[in-house]
Amino acid sequence: MSITFQTKPGLVVYLTAGDPSLEATYDIALAAIDNGAQVIELGVPFSDPLADGPVIQRASERAVGRGVRLQDVLQLCGQIRAARPASGIILFSYLNPVVRMGLPAFCAAAKASGADGVLLTDMIVEEATEYLAEMRRNDLAPVFLAAPTSPDERLKAIAEHSRGFVYAISRVGITGKQDAIGSDAEQLVRRLKQFTDLPVAVGFGISRAEHVAAVMQFADAAVVGSAIVQLIEESQPGDEARAVGDFVRGLAGK
């Protein structure tokens, strides 16, 4: 298990795998790790990303258009694992590509690729019986999302079934940048901490070093997604890894 947030700040970096190319994602992931990201969330592009804002939607559409498949993302995960044995890697997907492969086959392949855990955007704890059994069988960490709208009873179940860390959604909404981190996030993390000793990572709308610093006041890590995906979109071809590396270093305040 390589999901730890020993160094501060705890940083999780989300990447849409295959945008702009699988090779580029590999370079970008290593650059992010080398500049302070403890965990990489490797996003599987999907045709219908209904929890995502425009930035990740566009990235997903580009990668799907390029023919990037779950199988390719698993292979990419294996390559990143080989290059950076100590860092954390989470596979981040909508459910359908995983269901298409089959839960047992997917979990076995995820393990073989060296992933530490899996986050399925549209999988809630009530529906997760078979998924959790397969994850356990393969010694993989299921990471569930917790939302500001989740009542305590649900947070308890989410905390109990998560391994590695719990992903707290900072606000009610889809992924994407925002100006400031609202009070929803802190309240949610406090409520979650009643039920678990696992690290809590806060995501959605975190794009600047001051956001990361604010989150670190009450949580264990910050997840940065859309800001990095947008930076990749706006970078000159070939310059993405350098740009992301610099950006991550900046987020970490170094």
Partner 1 sequence: MPVLEQVTEVSRSMGTGRFGAYGGRYVPETLMAALLELEAAYLNAQRDPAFQQELDGLLHHYCGRPTPLYFAKRMTEQLGGAQIWLKREDLLHTGAHKINNALGQGLLARRMGKQRIIAETGAGQHGVATATVCALFGLECVIYMGEEDMRRQELNVYRMRLLGADVRGVSSGSATLKDAINEAMRDWVTNVRTTFYILGSALGAHPYPTMVRDFHRVISKEAKRQFAEQVGRNPDAVVACVGGGSNAIGAFYEFIPDQNVRLIGVEAGGRGPGLGDHAARFNMQGGGIPGVLQGTYSYVLQDDAGQVSLTHSVSAGLDYASVGPEHAMLHDQGRAEYVSASDDEALNATKALSRTEGIVPALESAHAIAHAMKLAPQMGRDKVMMVNLSGRGDKDMGIISRELHLGSGPAENKGTR
Catalytic residues: 41, 52
Taking the complex as a whole, the smallest distance from the CB of residue 48 to partner 1 amounts, in Å, to 5
Separation of alpha carbons 26 and 15, rounded Å: 10
Separation of alpha carbons 138 and 136, rounded Å: 5
| Residue 23 or 152 having the CB closest to partner 1 | 152
Element (H or E) spanning 190, and its range?
helix 183-193
Residue with tokens 């979990």: 107
User: Where does this chain bind partner 1 (CB under 8 A)?
Assistant: 46-53, 57, 61, 64, 69-71, 94-101, 121-124, 126-127, 144-154, 158, 169, 172-174
Taking the complex as a whole, the smallest distance from the CB of residue 17 to partner 1 amounts, in Å, to 13
Taking the complex as a whole, the smallest distance from the CB of residue 221 to partner 1 amounts, in Å, to 18
Separation of alpha carbons 184 and 145, rounded Å: 14
| Residue 33 or 123 having the CB closest to partner 1 | 123
240-251 vs 209-216: helix crossing angle, rounded to 10: 40
Mention every residue, 6+ apart, whose C-beta is less than 8 A from residue 71: 101
Cβ neighbours around 152 below 10 Å, total: 11
Taking the complex as a whole, the smallest distance from the CB of residue 169 to partner 1 amounts, in Å, to 6
